[in-house]
């Protein structure tokens, strides 16, 4: 399983969009000051909190969605995406969509609150 995710700085509210095959590890990397593979989130103050993720069956689909969201280049559009998905799911916490082979928003929908990833089950199993 692959994921497109959005993390948000708890200090300044800035968003970062990425994709990964391991959410727990990737969020930890964004918050690890010694990890050098996440340069964008190192330039801005954290800590970074996972606020949304979508599941995809392939890396290609996850990266395609990441690029689509990044192309918006709008903080307001990303905030609206998060708000709309929270309203749809009627769940407070992390928004999660399981995406099938359909590239549009009508695919399978599942909400799952992960809260603090360190204290809950890893979404990878």
CATH class of 2-119: alpha beta
Average pLDDT for the chain: 75
> 38-55 pLDDT, tens per residue?
788 888 888 999 999 999
CA distances from 50 to 29, 56, 100, 103, 106 (A): 12, 17, 22, 23, 23
Distance between CA 8 and CA 64 in Å, rounded? 20
Distance between CA 109 and CA 122 in Å, rounded? 19
Give the residue, 112 or 73, on which the prediction is more confident: 73
Instruction: Tell me what the mean pLDDT of segment 57-71 comes to.
Output: 95
CA distances from 10 to 14, 63, 89 (A): 8, 25, 23
CA distances from 32 to 35, 54, 109, 117, 125 (A): 5, 23, 32, 15, 23
């Amino acid at each position: 399983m692959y994921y497109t995710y959005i993390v948000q700085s708890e200090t300044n509210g800035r968003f970062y969009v990425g994709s990964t095959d391991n959410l727990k590890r990737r969020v930890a990397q964004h918050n690890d000051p010694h990890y050098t593979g996440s340069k964008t989130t190192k330039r801005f103050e954290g800590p970074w909190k996972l606020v949304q993720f979508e599941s995809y069956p392939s890396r290609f689909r996850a990266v395609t969605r990441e690029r689509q969201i990044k192309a918006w280049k709008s903080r307001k559009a990303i905030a609206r995406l998060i708000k709309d998905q929270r309203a749809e799911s009627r769940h407070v916490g992390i928004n999660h969509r399981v995406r099938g082979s359909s590239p549009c928003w009508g695919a399978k929908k599942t909400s799952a609150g992960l809260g603090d990833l360190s204290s809950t089950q890893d979404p990878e199993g």
